[in-house]
Amino acid sequence: MPAVNDLPDILETREAERLATGFIFTEGPLWHPDGFYYFADIRANKLYRITPGKAAEFVRETAGGNGTTFDLQGRLIQCEGNARRVTRTGHDGKVETLVDRFQGGRFNRPNDVVCRSDGSLYFTDPDKRVAYTEREIPPPAGVDNLWDGASVYRVAPDGTLSRVAHCEYPNGLAFSPDERTLYVANTRSSKYIHALELDAAGKMVRRRIFADMNAGDEPGIPDGMKVDSLGRVFCTGPGGVWVITPDGKHAGTIKFPEQAVNFAFGGADLRTLFCCAYTSVYTLRVKVPGQPHPWYRLRAR
């Protein structure tokens, strides 16, 4: 039976439409203003693009390609966990390593990435699935040898790389509309969302728990995350995609025929929720548009 949602304050359509299926584990959804979505089949190491109403098109091989975003020039930025790097694809299709090391050590497994309006890029680097003997980033002064390196990093517009925060298992990322809060999905042992409060320069000044997602026994973890134009946080979690009000209250859960893994706001009005759910990709219409990527604004000028 299809998942039929009854969330009149959130959804315009109640039942998800499946655009394509037959994949292993879909991830990395991203809307392109030319009318298509990018997404990755992370287990098959393939990047695709799909235009609604048409078949998915293969773009290129990846090395565990996962989270995606654009930079301010509209170049595709992607976390490639198997290669322990973040890549940038030029308009000519050339793929280059943007960053792969911090303080001389390789990253663990870059997972998700977002772009701020000043052009800085933030990405997560969890430690799971990387043996202790292969974790290369040195610990900060005074930290013991069990340092796992799981952190959120920032690539400044001039290319300078810095650590923003250490987290237990940092996964999905999203900015508040004013970009002064960076939400970080914490996955695995504790299911919650961090709120990292940033100063004007993009450095963390304090942190707090924004929302606790340890509820019920349905499958699903905090992973993919986006924010709409009202400042509501959408995050995958137990049972589907949770919608959380700006003050941290659970407003409802959007369900899909398969467990939601990640998603993006898309369509010309940014009111289409494009969801990666294991073997398939789906869409649903929402009533409030998503927060636009900074490049979308620049492109529209």
If we measure between CA atoms, which residue out of 59, 65, 40, 71 comes closest to residue 264?
Answer: 40
Calpha distance 255→203 (Å, rounded): 35
The overall average pLDDT reported for the chain is 94
CA–centroid distance for 156 within its chain: 19
- 161's tokens: 């790389």
If we measure between CA atoms, which residue out of 295, 276, 292, 296 comes closest to residue 284?
Answer: 276
Continuous H helices in the chain: 294-300
> Which superfamily does CATH assign the domain made up of 17-300 to?
TolB, C-terminal domain (2.120.10.30)
User: Which residues 6+ apart lie within 8 Å of 19 measured at CB?
Assistant: 50, 52, 56, 274, 280, 281, 282, 283
Residue 216: pLDDT over 80: no
Residue 5 confidence class, pLDDT cut points 50, 70, 90: confident
Residue 15: pLDDT over 90: yes
If we measure between CA atoms, which residue out of 192, 8, 142, 276 comes closest to residue 184?
Answer: 192
Which three-class secondary structure state does DSSP give residue 295? helix
User: Percent of the chain having pLDDT more than 70?
Assistant: 97
The DSSP line for 121-165 is: EEEEE--TTS-GGG--SPPPTT--TT----EEEEE-TTS-EEEEE
Residue 127: pLDDT over 90: no
pLDDT of amino acid 142 = 67
Going by the DSSP 8-state scheme, the letter that residue 100 receives in this structure is: -
Residue 1: pLDDT over 60: no
| Separation of first and last alpha carbons in the chain | 45
Whole-structure pTM value: 0.96
**Residue 70: half-sphere exposure toward Cβ, Cα within 13 Å:** 21
pLDDT of amino acid 134 = 84
Residue 59 confidence class, pLDDT cut points 50, 70, 90: very high
Domain map (residue ranges) of the chain:
17-300
Length of the chain equals 301
If we measure between CA atoms, which residue out of 239, 211, 243 comes closest to residue 228?
Answer: 243
Calpha distance 239→178 (Å, rounded): 29
Residue 242: pLDDT over 80: yes
Calpha distance 37→44 (Å, rounded): 18
Calpha distance 240→262 (Å, rounded): 10
Q: What is the mean pLDDT of residues 69-96?
A: 97
Residue 146 confidence class, pLDDT cut points 50, 70, 90: low
